[in-house]
Amino acid sequence: MPGANADQLATFCAMCVSRCGATATVRDGRLIALGPDPDHPTGRAVCVKGKAAPQVLEHPDRLLHPLRRTTPKGSASTEWVQISWDEALDTIAEHLRTIADESGPEAVVFGSASPSTSAISDSADWITRLRRAFGSPNFTNSMELCGWGRFLASTYTFGAPVPGAFMPDLDNAGCILFWGYNPSVSRLVHATATVDAVNRGARLVVVDPRRTGLAGRADHWLQVRPGTDAALALGLIHVMIENGWYDEDFVRRWTNAPLLVRLDTGRLLRADELPGASARTGYVAWDEPDARPVAVDPATPAYASSVSRCAVSGTAEVATTNGPVTCSPVLELLRRHCENLTPEAAESVTGVSAQVLVDTARTLWESRPVAYYSWSGLEQHSNTTQMIRAVNVLYALTGCLDAVGGNVLFTPVPTNPVDGAGLLSDAQRARTIGVQGRPLGPARFEFVTGEDLCTAALDHEPYRARALVNFGANLVMAHGDSARVRDALSSLDFFVHADLFMSPTAALADIVLPVASPFETEALRVGFEVSQQAQSHVQLRRPAAPPRGEARSDLQIVFALAQRLGLGEHFWDGDIDAAWRHQLAPSGITLEALREQPRGIALDLPTRHRKYEERGFRTPTGLVEIWSMELVEHGEPALPSFTEPALGPRSRPDLVRDYPLVLTCAKSLRFCESQHRQVAELRRAAPDPQVELHPDAAQARGITTSDWVRISTPHGAVRARAKLNSSIAPGVVCAQHGWSQGCDELGLPSSDPYEQDGVNLNLVLRQTPSDPVSGSSPLRSSLCEVARL
């Protein structure tokens, strides 16, 4: 019990993407407990990790002072000496300036932990601002593993991040579709809202190789073979088109379905290719009543009435300035593209029964509006971009985007952007590492993949990455081939790492900075994302306890570093309050008001739906791009396409004899990614890494529950404990990444992340063969064998 003299402080937990509204119990300057705050829009519950926040904060392993390495990298043991903040900041600034002078600011890569697994969301925009003010286009934060599909890949279909920014309107959905997403583990606030929705009668569809969490409550659980999700989506699209289970008005008016494609070039036929029409803009469709091609321009008011008469099926010969060409509307080509993926054919590829597939397509149609979310299950594959495109096109057919109960861009609180978009020149942006190899990939948006970071550091391609300024990211544990990541980080001239704990990545740094826990710092949160109510909420989180040792918030570090680098003019000369005032100005909410109301202030913002009706979609055609010209221009398929996962049983039959099982992975309930294993309260119930496998697969190998087993891939072997799960297919196993930390209180030693037969899964996975568009790594469908130890 909190006991006497305890104060209750309204706050929110920033430890993961859920960002749960919470009540902190504080006594004698210590955080004693964290509980839910039901009056907060995300405050219905806190999870085990949130409840253990005091133990994370007060853990004896917290970093308390800035440290400088005294032993060379690569030596048997690493030693550190405590230094002052002044010395740390001066040393950092001096190294960064020297490297920028010698090699250009792009030689300095910035990095951070993912905002979904850490409190970096408090300061992410400011870290980006610092990077841009410094002049570097290079930022690494696992974008290709965590956010590509939700945010950036979807821009090639919708011109906007769906479902990353267009969030599922769970309160009003008729049908909720979770595809490779398990919010019961990963985003508590979505899990509670989904249970409410199901209780009020919403239908639920879950696509997951395991029957986890909410799948147990689903109307349809689609047990997909890992990495074959694109085939499943195309199979669903097949059924939807064949049965007319799609929103014809939306598809005609707001997707490029009626536009004609030249079958000879695979390009959309342009209006200026029609004879005698050199000045015309736009594209061409086939007017059905008049049986002739017509120029149509999605940017004009006449477009809607023209395309309402136009064909979305068939083939026609069209006279162009270069002679006749055979053309078909996009929807016809999509239909043909999916023709062979009958429910039965899709079943043979994906393992999802034909009947379940048809029933699911019917539910999606009959229970609209559909709200969906996809996440890690679709992110970490060699064919991620096509998978995402397939699900995006499927979603487009429902016509539910930005509709009540669909995926909605909730109205944000108006603020001044602070990520410094204008501070980086186009010339510098063009230097992003990886942009030449994958021009449509994360590098286009200033994100450097793990693979490209290693190549730049080790092989100096496209140029040498010489320094890393890293806020948290545990790169060694996050990426496939941990040993290569270690070698890459060790090869840097200078590496500064800011963290709460010494991680395997931090251990490779030259300087380590102690970061304050989110419960020890002030942070401004504008919008809690998941609903209009949540998105209207602004909160200035107050510290529940003073920072331990000399720890500082990431924000304070960013502002201090900016001063030392001579960039103070972009950082209000180090005055964080002034910066926040600038950010908040358009909202009308003052810092003083927020400080007085720790639970936060909600604006009364109306939700506006179907905003595309005002300004179209931000794609090249202004329409939802079922047919993507941008992808075609870069040699990628115009329609979403299925390819077998590169390390799967059908692509690599040569490996199947020794590695007959498909290996995927999933997050742990009690830990975020590579963190939190040092906390006894969390570790006690999950002391060892697990691998889930079907009882038949276990029996065939003489494995019983809780046995230690060896997971072997072509790259080595790691250990885990067997967990029998009859809801996973017999040929599939699901492991956990992120294990290396010890827990002194429980007498559990830490484990060397580079040691064979250790517990770091990513040691035996690889960053390649990666997705051709994004560079996403095949962490979720590769081959393995499991044997009893």
Ligand X SMILES: Nc1nc2c(c(=O)[nH]1)N[C@H]1C(S)=C(S)[C@@H](COP(=O)(O)OP(=O)(O)OC[C@H]3O[C@@H](n4cnc5c(=O)[nH]c(N)nc54)[C@H](O)[C@@H]3O)O[C@H]1N2
Residue 317 DSSP SS3: strand
- Considering only 21, 50, 66, 180, the residue that binds ligand X (CB under 6 A) is 180
| Nearer Cβ to ligand SF4 (509/672) | 672
Beta bridge partners of 179: 207, 374
Strand 323-329 vs strand 260-262: parallel, antiparallel, or unpaired? antiparallel
Residue of 125, 269, 116 whose CA lies nearest to 181: 116
Distance in Å, CB of 191 to ligand SF4, minimum = 9
Q: Which helix (H) or strand (E) holds 668?
A: none
The footprint of ligand SF4 (CB under 6 A) covers: 13, 15-16, 18-20, 46-47, 49-50, 188
| Residue 524 sits in the site that holds ligand X (CB under 6 A) | no
CB of 607 to ligand X, least distance (A): 25
Out of 113, 173, 268, 408, name the contact with ligand X by CB under 6 A.
Answer: 113
Cα(511)–Cα(497) distance, integer angstroms: 6
34 counts as binding ligand X under rule CB under 6 A? no
Shortest separation between residue 326's beta carbon and ligand X, angstroms = 37
Assign 3-state DSSP to the chain and report helix, strand, coil percentages, each to 5.
Answer: 35, 20, 45
Instruction: Pinpoint the alpha helices (H) of 662-789.
Output: 680-683, 695-700
Q: Which does 13 bind (CB under 5 to 8 A by kind): ligand X, ligand SF4, Mo ion, none?
A: ligand SF4
> Any contact of residue 765 with ligand X (CB under 6 A)?
yes
User: Cβ–Cβ contacts within 10 Å for residue 439, how many?
Assistant: 13
Give all strands (DSSP E) within 492-553, no chain letters.
Answer: 494-499, 511-514, 523-526, 537-541
Q: Are 690 and 706 in contact (CB under 8 A)?
A: no
Q: Stretches 97-105, 111-119, 189-197, 559-567: which one binds ligand X (CB under 6 A)? A: 111-119
**Residue 369 binding target from ligand SF4, Mo ion, ligand X, none, CB below 5 to 8 Å by type:** none
| CA nearest neighbour of 605 among 668, 498, 533 | 533
Confirm or reject binding of residue 207 to ligand X (CB under 6 A). yes
Residues whose CB is less than 8 angstroms from the CB of residue 756 and which lie 6 or more positions away in sequence, other chains included: 716, 717, 718, 763
Q: Could you tell me the two tokens for 634?
A: 């870069």
Considering beta carbons, is residue 374 or 398 the nearer one to ligand X?
374
Instruction: Tell me how far, at minimum, the Cβ of 371 lies from ligand X, in Å.
Output: 16
Q: Would you tell me which residues interact with Mo ion (CB under 5 A)? A: 114, 116, 146
Rounded least distance, CB 49 to ligand SF4, Å? 4
Nearest residue to 173 via CA among 401, 455, 473, 431: 401
Please say which residue, 261 or 534, places its beta carbon nearer to ligand X.
Answer: 534
Sequence-ordered list of residues with C-beta below 8 angstroms from that of 776, at least 6 positions apart, any chain = 144, 145, 148, 379, 380, 381, 382, 384, 385, 449, 770
Work out how close the CB of 53 gets to ligand SF4 at its nearest, in angstroms, rounded to a whole number: 7
Q: How far apart are CA 114 and CA 135, in angstroms?
A: 22
CA distance 151 to 379: 11
Give start and end residues of each alpha helix (H) in 280-398. 303-308, 330-339, 343-350, 354-366, 376-379, 384-398
Nearer to ligand SF4, 24 or 361 (CB): 24
Q: Which partner from the list ligand X, Mo ion, ligand SF4, none does 50 bind, CB cut-off 5 to 8 Å by kind?
A: ligand SF4
Q: Determine the Cα–Cα distance for residues 258 and 210; give it in Å rounded to an integer.
A: 38
**CB nearer ligand SF4, residue 19 or residue 541:** 19
102 Cβ contact list (under 8 Å, min separation 6): none
249 vs 254: CA distance, rounded Å: 8
722 contact choice in Mo ion, ligand SF4, ligand X, none (CB below 5 to 8 Å, kind-dependent)? none
Please state the closest distance from residue 424 (CB atom) to ligand SF4, in A: 31
Instruction: Find which of Mo ion, ligand SF4, ligand X, none residue 19 binds, CB within 5 to 8 Å per kind.
Output: ligand SF4
Of 385 and 674, which has the nearer Cβ to Mo ion? 674
CA angle 768, 772, 777 (to 5 degrees): 35
Annotate each residue in 690-729 with x if it binds ligand X (CB under 6 A) or - if it does not, as one string.
----------------------------------------
Q: Which residue is nearest to ligand SF4 (CB)?
A: 50
Does residue 471 interact with ligand X by CB under 6 A?
yes
Q: By CB under 6 A, is residue 167 in contact with ligand X?
A: no
Q: Which does 188 bind (CB under 5 to 8 A by kind): Mo ion, ligand X, ligand SF4, none?
A: ligand SF4
Q: Which residues 654-693 are close enough to bind ligand X by CB under 6 A?
A: 664-669, 671-675
Where on the chain is the footprint of ligand X (CB under 6 A)?
Answer: 16-17, 113-114, 116-120, 142, 145-146, 179-182, 185-187, 207-210, 212, 224, 226-227, 229, 375-378, 380, 471-474, 477-478, 498-501, 503, 515, 518, 554, 664-669, 671-675, 734, 737-738, 761-762, 765, 779-781
